Chain A
Amino acid sequence: MGIEGIGARVQRKEDKRFITGKGRYTDDMVVPGMKHAAFVRSPHAHAKIAGIDASAAEGMPGVIAVLNGKQLTDDGIGNLICGWMIHSKDGSPMNMGAWRPLADSTVRYVGDAVAIVVADTRSQARDAADAVVVDYEELPAIVDPVKALQDGAPQLHPEAKGNLIYDWEIGDGAATDKAIAEAAHVTELKIINNRLVPNPMEPRAALGHYDEAEDHYTCWTTSQNPHVARLVMSAFYNVAPENKLRVIAPDVGGGFGSKIYIYPEEIVCLWASKRTGVPVKWVCDRTEAFLTDAHGRDHVSTVKLAFDANNIVTGMKVDTIANLGAYMSLFSSSVPTYLYATLLSGQYNIPAIHANVRTVYTNTTPVDAYRGAGRPEATYLVERVMETAARELGVSPAELRRKNFVREFPHQTPVIMCYDAGDYDASLKAAMEAADYDGFPARRKEAESKGKKRGIGMSCYIEACGIAPSQAVGSLGAGVGLWESAEVRVNAVGTIEVLTGSHSHGQGHETTFAQLVAERFGVGLDSVSIVHGDTDKVQMGMGTYGSRSGAVGMSAIAKALDKVETKAKKIAAHLLEADEGDIVIENGELKVAGTDKTLPWFQMALAAYTAHNLPDGMEPGLKEGAFYDPSNFTFPAGCYICEVEVDPDTGKTEIIQFVAADDFGNIINPMIVEGQVHGGIAQGVGQAMLEAAHYDAETGQLITASYMDYTMPRADDLPSFQVSHQNTPCPGNPLGIKGCGEAGAIGSPPAVINAITDAIGTNKLDMPATPEKVWALLHSH
């Protein structure tokens, strides 16, 4: 490793512009003649649109146009789609209702877009949007996913009878039922995974620009995957063919999944630009973000975990109802199925698993992947039931887990996944040592003497990253492949540009990806630039989500670097009159091994472009591309331990310590990885103790639609984290990387709740563990 190569704690190259306010976000983009948009949104959770009267709005100052869903339909703009087909257990395809980018007959959640106003200024657009009169005929609304399935519930979509989207299962039901029937002990738990609002720092935005002379569209947007956005807008929404549509996702301020999806607004801005003849920009405000960014989680489950007389797990049965909201967002169907139920084996040998998952429509914001996406739901369920089982069986939670750990790899679970590598004992041991687990009873006693209740809880999580291989996900219903692409361009002066299909919206790719190149060729980080986020510059790519950019994105770069290295060595061998096999690359030089003959990197590059003296038949230039399709998912895993102190007078919980021991495979930049863990734990603690989206059961209004009511984690809610790594390299990709972006959010919620339930002596706690909830539990039993 060089000082800037793999494993180096290099400071982030991109941070200078971010922390000095010089980032370039979608809202910073200005196009000549650009106008501003505001959306007219439904104030009702469920209603028929009897009519829209825009006459007053159209006459207001600065207003250029008010456009509605009928006009959008007339122009042939298609429905929004869900790109992952799930079949119910009876073989029928999922029941997908129509989602119009602008609702033309029915609105199904508060915030559903009904019309767009384009005006000279943002204020004028908003004033006019307020003046658009929509005649709504209100319908009864349903927000609770369990009640939505019951007879007599208000119906959302004619395509989905009983609001049921699909009724899906995985695993062996008969074997699992047998295991439970024959068990020495069965632990049963009802688990609610609370609905979350993603809240990236930068709200969504879109700027659509139609160039009439070229018949060409450009869309600047806050996307985690601009190429997928272009593909979907082109292939399904009929906005424009791909060659007539450029999508640019410039600096993007966080996404957490919510910026994967194609939303109505970017489609409508592009269409409105053609309709009005002016570039149209829309920037979401925070209230709109609460109402319309795809939410996360929202599961209601029951789990039964069966043990034999030796406390060995023999089976697990799960029944889950997942709320997908008013419409099926782009990848919503995959989250409670292949990203959730396939992880129910946790870190354990479980011979029989069966899970049944029903997804339902409700009059709420669409739900899709949010940091972790299915895996936090699985981990929360598995780790809460494990901890509860240990308490019921009267054994140490660590020992019960240890007894059931998977230790031989590869390990085929009963739910599709085949774990490739891991050492679960190592992370458990490291976490317990770091947390001084053995010293806990003394600490609890001391807390008691101060009138406080201490608790300790653990979570041994496993997750699956890299979502792959393409052929496998295709067979499971994915509408896209899940590979990644890279192109490495060595310039004539030896500097290097890497074009990646991954997209950085906070992850630090400009640094870590450059470190990979620095490691390979011994060049400085400053001479490597990472290019991403523009479909006109970068070859087709799949974007960033699912902790895939290290394992998949960097593997594609590594493959392209292989090709560059091969050609560079050929050129050097030719110029140095040596055998290609004797050339080594070190510290920015190509050397003939065992001699003092060297060729500086830049001279090799120059030779490639002058082409005055290249090997016979070699093409000039030095630029190579690669597509990498993984052979398997990767399986990051680890152990988190949380210790809390509860004030019984108020129910307020303080996290005393939080230990994370993770196996992420090989690590490129430990500083960035630790930052990802810190951020992930902050969001996990947020879910466990603070955050929840609440809807009014009658009106379907989002009650927690601002920071006055939706509790975001703040610095003083969190302790200093103790983070360590016990890595086993991933055998499935050339760099041995597993991925680290989501682990913190996946592993932490059950650790927190297990700690609080330990402190207060009941297992009945649901997230978020607010002071009131904890106090009420303490005073009710």
Chain B
Amino acid sequence: MYATTYHKAKTVDEAVKLVGQSESGKFLSGGMSLLPTMKQRLAAPSDLVDLRHIPEMKGISVSGSEVKIGGAATHYEIKESAELAKACYGLHSMASVLGDPQVRYMGTIGGSLANNDPAADYPAAMLALDATIHTNARTLKASEFFAGLLETALEDDEIVTAVSFTAPEKSGYEKFRNPASRYAMCGVFVAKTGSEVRVGVTGAGADGVFSWDEAASALSSNFSADAIKDLAVDPGELLSDLHGSSEYRANLVKVMAKRAVESAR
């Protein structure tokens, strides 16, 4: 690891200022991807500005059917929130299988979204929940936020301060882990509200997270695993690597989607 200077920001404004003043500073919000990258000497930010202790970015609130989660909320906090588990079972279930216990204590939803790793879990949920991403500058729909592998609509001085969404009637998440990294090789989040169904897929897409609209439309008229049994994802749009060909991933998308529908509540 190259030498770096650590800062603990107390406010969003202070964090933005600290990164702005630095030579090549980066926001740190758990560091579950950034720190390993730095340890491998593949990244060398001059400064790290920690967002995890900013009070305005913490907390989970459920008010009626409106859910808001602070960007600095950890996966553990999301998993443990009884209110959230009731409001959105799928997100609770996702946080329960996200990384491992150490990662769940350190990693945050804001950090994960800002990084937009193609194998990260939350992006699938955000798409399927049609969530709103709040930053220090604006609000965006999830569909506007994700912009390909490790790319988002965020500007350099922009921070994910919170996410919000309307609690679905039913939601579920199932993933198949990469045997080595244990990241999602394919994760499917299904959310149903009234006749509207959305399906978010992570880990499998060649361009990162995507909505499987064909499945969503089939499920909107018949919310059962049967509804998607004859559908197929085009392997040409999927990732292919050492652990899974695009054909295998196409199969996994379907299998995990069916299981997510079955587990949804």
Contact = CB atoms under 8 A, between A and B. Distances in A.
A426 to B, nearest CB: 36
Interface in A104-129: 123, 126-127
Smallest CB-CB A-B distances: 3 pairs: A711-B180, A708-B181, A649-B255
Contact of A770 (B243, B251, B252): B243
A contacts with B: majority SS: loop
A710 B248 contact: no
Given A649-B255, A775-B248, A703 B242 contact: yes
Interface string A402-421: 00000000000000000000
A776 interface: yes
Contacts of A130: 41
A650 B252 contact: yes
B24 interface: no
A709 interface: yes
Given A694-B242, A772-B244, A707 B180 contact: yes
Interface residues of B, number: 17
B181 A709 contact: yes
Interface string B221-265: 000000000000000000000111100100110010000000000
A287 B255 CA distance: 35
Given A287-B40, A650-B252, A650-B255, A772 B180 contact: no
A690 B177 CA distance: 13
A287 B40 CA distance: 8
A123 B2 contact: yes
A776 B245 CA distance: 10
Nearest to A703: B242
B interface, over-half SS: loop
5 contacts: A123-B1, A650-B251, A650-B255, A704-B180, A776-B248
B176 interface: yes
Interface of B: 1-3, 40-41, 176, 179-181, 242-245, 248, 251-252, 255
A143 to B, nearest CB: 15
Nearest to B1: A123
Contact of A708 (B1, B176, B180, B245): B180
Contacts of A127: 2
B251 A775 contact: yes
A62 interface: no
Interface of A: 123, 126-127, 130, 287, 649-652, 690, 694, 703-704, 706-712, 770-772, 775-776
A779 to B, nearest CB: 8
Identify the interface centre among B41, B181, B242, B243: most chain A CB within 10 Å of its CB.
B242
Contact of A772 (B40, B181, B245): B245
Contacts of A649: 251, 255
B248 A772 contact: yes
A771 B1 CA distance: 35
Contacts of A707: 180-181
A127 B252 CA distance: 43
Contacts of B252: 650
B187 to A, nearest CB: 13
Nearest to A712: B180
B179 A770 contact: yes
A58 B17 CA distance: 38
B118 to A, nearest CB: 13
Contacts of B3: 123
Contacts of A771: 176, 179, 244
Contacts of B41: 126, 130
A616 to B, nearest CB: 70
A775 B248 CA distance: 8
A127 B1 CA distance: 10
Contacts of B242: 694, 703-704, 709
Task: Find the residue from A703, A707, A708 having the highest chain B CB count within 10 A.
Answer: A708
Nearest to A690: B179
Nearest to B100: A714
Nearest to B176: A650
Nearest to A714: B182
B242 to A, nearest CB: 6
